[in-house]
């Protein structure tokens, strides 16, 4: 599994699973395609924040190959 906490592993157009802010406690994931990478730092302990093509914003939990 590719690490979603490293910005270098995430590219626009990738299919990923993210956790939305309101689902952080439950851990429910949402799938989609990355349209923007919002986190500027190289690493983030909770996952890189991205915006999906659907407009939803969350932190990358898994990268689906």
Domain with 43, as residue range(s), is: 7-64
Dihedral class, residue 55 (left if φ above 0, else alpha if ψ from -120 to 50, else beta): left
Residue 17 in any domain: the answer is yes
Residue 1 in any domain: the answer is no
We report the CATH number of the domain holding residue 13 as 2.30.30
Residue 39 in any domain: the answer is yes
Whole-model pTM: value is 0.91
CA-CA-CA-CA torsion sign (55, 52, 40, 13):
negative
What pLDDT digit, counting tens, does each position of 10-48 carry? 999 999 999 999 999 999 999 999 999 999 999 999 999
Number of domains in the chain: 1
């Amino acid at each position: 599994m590719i690490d979603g906490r490293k910005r270098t592993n995430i590219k626009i157009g990738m299919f990923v699973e993210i956790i939305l802010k309101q689902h952080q406690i439950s851990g429910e994931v949402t799938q989609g395609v990355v349209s923007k990478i919002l986190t500027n730092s190289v690493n983030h302990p909770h996952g890189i924040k991205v915006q999906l093509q659907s407009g939803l914003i969350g932190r990358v939990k898994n990268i689906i190959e």
